[in-house]
Structure 1
């Protein structure tokens, strides 16, 4: 069985990637989250590390933070990925990207440099994003919006839960329902793979 490291943002995409991998019998041996020194928070969503660690603890999967800088991001990621390859006997690294070719190319190049397989369990096309969002909600995961692009979505969408009402409202917008281009970001706090809810965390 392949030993897989999963690039983890704490949001719905990486969570659904974990869900798909787990349901198809794959073994995720660690979660990987990058933390730029410039912010001290996660690269993907500017999230507090304690909240990401709480997710990993609830999922009972080891969390590995990759400390990097914006200027040396890829090099730092590659160096740590090689270390994790040895530590966990990793064969592959998985990403939650869904259809942006540039993101996939970056991940593939990173995996190639580390001599690992690149896995994209959610890879689809732009037209399938509304269905992807429905699958996430229907699977029983609970997530809230933590950030929006205010040129595309109202600021009062922050704090909204991903549910049927959210699906209806986002489907009426002229943007990606999954927020693949950063239209909105989420934090997943409960669901089938979680052992306990991680919504309210004292920082």
Structure 2
């Protein structure tokens, strides 16, 4: 099936995209919804500008769609963006958010498309371990939950990180996968990448009064993956 992949460049949407590829779906484009509000109900905000580098690494075309307004506006924007895709299905990395799932399923129903949600209902800890085992190189770029301080910004998600997230979850009740907006991520490398993303300059911004912070990537580039054939471009 020809599908459009809703993708932010974070771990969940990237992993869902890869699973869709492995299942035989043809990904015709990456669709990045770009919200103007930091408190978006549905969409990833941290370093979304890097989605172009993500597309280059994945070898997929990227289409960005601006989102202005609150919950209703986000859902209207989703329907409008999907209506222009020309695809038969929509890939999403939703795991446990009934709100997000309903919004995607409703848009698909109106447009005659099929939702593809390979992560839905997965155990958060098990899913995180699977993503690490499959070779996704991911860092945390935003934190917004009790128990997650500035020291988490820029941290790579490996098995040790997953174990620490589980401990924070036990103490503070966060979702280990960050599905509740507790943190956001950026995938630097993945099994389906032809190149990888290399961060050249970044800074941590911590808002003490809000208990949240972001790793703001200022400069980045794509580079050859170790062991890959040199790029002659």
Alignment TM-score, normalising by the size of structure 1: 0.88
Larger radius of gyration: 2
Corresponding residue number in structure 2 for 1:189: 188
**In structure 2, how many angstroms separate the alpha carbons of the residues matched to 1:9 and 1:192?**
17
Shift of 1:177: 1.3
**In structure 2, how many angstroms separate the alpha carbons of the residues matched to 1:107 and 1:150?**
26
State the SS of the aligned residue for 1:179.
coil
Q: Could you tell me which of 103, 106, 122 is aligned with 1:106?
A: 103
Conserved 8 A contact 1:6-1:30: yes
Corresponding residue number in structure 2 for 1:26: 25
Structure with greater contact order relative to length (CA < 8 Å, sep ≥ 6): 1
Q: Is 1:144 aligned to 2:139, yes or no?
A: yes
Shift of 1:122: 1.0
Question: Any stretches of 5+ residues in structure 2 without a counterpart?
Answer: 201-218, 221-233
Corresponding residue number in structure 2 for 1:159: 154
Corresponding residue number in structure 1 for 2:91: 94
Shift of 1:61: 0.8
Q: Is 1:129 aligned to 2:124, yes or no?
A: yes
Corresponding residue number in structure 2 for 1:177: 176
Alignment TM-score, normalising by the size of structure 2: 0.77
Q: Is 1:46 aligned to 2:25, yes or no?
A: no
- Which 4+ stretches in 1 moved above 4 angstroms? none
**In structure 2, how many angstroms separate the alpha carbons of the residues matched to 1:166 and 1:48?**
23
Q: Is 1:83 aligned to 2:84, yes or no?
A: yes
Q: 1:43 to 1:113 in 2, by over 3 A?
A: same
Structure with higher strand content: 2
**In structure 2, how many angstroms separate the alpha carbons of the residues matched to 1:46 and 1:70?**
17
Conserved 8 A contact 1:130-1:178: yes
Larger displacement relative to structure 2 (59-68 or 133-142): 59-68
Corresponding residue number in structure 2 for 1:11: 10
**In structure 2, how many angstroms separate the alpha carbons of the residues matched to 1:38 and 1:145?**
20
State the SS of the aligned residue for 1:106.
helix
